[in-house]
């Protein structure tokens, strides 16, 4: 249980990638974080994020999340919500074996409860995780359908994530986990270049059921107002 808690990866806490393993049955976890985005156009934004997870059944995780950011009107045009409620379910299709990765599917419904939000959005993802001794490889594929878009916005968007996490202790202790990934996502504007992001982060155990996390990332390509540096720090607690 102690090893599982540090290893469970939730998207955006601290970086985009997620592992294919749901939280254990009847486990409950909550997280809070703070994000700052340094943008190339100088119109920076920041704000808190919150999430809860629950192991509703064996192999089934449910949860809810929301995030607030400054400049909600401008961020709505970037495809970034401020105050929208996300409800999700993550289901493990197949556990990891000696010859195959763990596979899961995830569905999120995004309700327009936030500022400048319109329409209900649907997010679908396929997740794979493969373990190799002290490190794991992750692949995430996500599809998004937006319920309401402007004339220049894409209503359907795609995202691919390739990442790795590994333990730093030579004694195989699970106190510290390092993470890194590369993300390629559809530009929210029709005809825009794909957004390519690189990220790195760390998860560090503070107590038996408390984890500190921190991450940073940068958009290498995309719109002119893309993120130059994104920093996120937070704490998660499992019960």
CB of 22 closer than 8 Å to CB of 38: no
pLDDT (0 to 100) of residue 56: 97
pLDDT cut 90: percent of the chain above it: 74
- pLDDT confidence of 8, banded at 50, 70, 90? confident
- pLDDT confidence of 180, banded at 50, 70, 90? very high
CB of 122 closer than 8 Å to CB of 107: yes
CB of 195 closer than 8 Å to CB of 224: no
pLDDT (0 to 100) of residue 220: 97
- pLDDT greater at residue 208 or residue 156: 156
Structure tokens at 177: 């986990």
The H-or-E segment that residue 162 falls in is strand 156-167
pLDDT (0 to 100) of residue 169: 78
Q: Which of 85, 55, 54 is nearest to 68 (CA)?
A: 85
Give dist(CA 181, CA 16) in Å, integer.
8
- pLDDT confidence of 5, banded at 50, 70, 90? low
Structure tokens at 67: 């995030």
pLDDT (0 to 100) of residue 232: 98
pLDDT (0 to 100) of residue 3: 46
- Contacts made by residues 107-111, CB under 8 angstroms, sequence distance 24+: 110/81, 110/84, 110/85, 110/86, 111/84, 111/85, 111/86, 111/87
- Read off the pLDDT of residues 69-110 as tens digits, 9 standing for 90 and up: 998 888 877 778 899 999 999 999 999 998 899 999 999 999
CB of 129 closer than 8 Å to CB of 101: yes
pLDDT at 123 over 80: yes
Q: How many CB atoms lie within 10 A of CB 239?
A: 9
- Read off the pLDDT of residues 34-70 as tens digits, 9 standing for 90 and up: 999 999 999 999 999 999 999 999 999 999 999 999 9
Average confidence (pLDDT) over 117-136: 94
pLDDT (0 to 100) of residue 2: 41
Domains of the chain in start order, with CATH, are 2-238 (2.40.160.40)
Q: Which of 168, 166, 164, 167 is nearest to 182 (CA)?
A: 164
pLDDT at 230 over 90: yes
pLDDT (0 to 100) of residue 1: 40
Structure tokens at 25: 């049955």
- What three-state secondary structure class fits 226? coil
pLDDT cut 70: percent of the chain above it: 97
pLDDT at 162 over 90: yes
- pLDDT confidence of 6, banded at 50, 70, 90? confident
- pLDDT confidence of 172, banded at 50, 70, 90? low
CB of 148 closer than 8 Å to CB of 118: yes
């Amino acid at each position: 249980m102690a090893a599982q808690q540090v290893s469970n990866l939730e998207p955006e806490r601290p970086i985009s990638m997620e592992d294919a393993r749901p939280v254990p049955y009847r486990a409950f976890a909550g997280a809070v974080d703070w994000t700052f985005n340094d943008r190339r156009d100088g119109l920076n934004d920041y704000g808190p994020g919150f999430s809860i997870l629950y192991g509703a059944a064996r192999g089934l995780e449910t949860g809810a999340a929301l995030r607030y950011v400054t400049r909600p009107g401008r961020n709505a045009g970037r495809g970034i919500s401020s105050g929208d409620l996300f409800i999700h379910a993550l289901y493990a299709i197949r556990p990891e074996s000696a010859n195959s990765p763990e596979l899961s599917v995830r569905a999120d419904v995004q309700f327009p409860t936030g500022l400048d939000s319109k329409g209900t959005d649907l997010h679908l993802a396929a997740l794979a995780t493969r373990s190799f001794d002290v490190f794991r490889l992750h692949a995430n594929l996500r599809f998004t359908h937006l319920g309401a878009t402007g004339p220049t916005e894409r209503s359907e968007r795609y995202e691919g994530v390739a990442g790795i996490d590994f333990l730093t202790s030579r004694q195989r202790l699970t106190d510290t986990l390092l993470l890194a990934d590369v993300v390629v996502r559809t530009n929210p504007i029709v005809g825009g270049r794909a957004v390519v992001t690189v990220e790195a982060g760390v998860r560090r155990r503070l107590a038996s059921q408390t984890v500190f996390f921190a991450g940073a990332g940068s958009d290498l390509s995309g719109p002119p107002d893309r993120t130059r540096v994104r920093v996120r720090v937070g704490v998660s607690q499992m019960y």
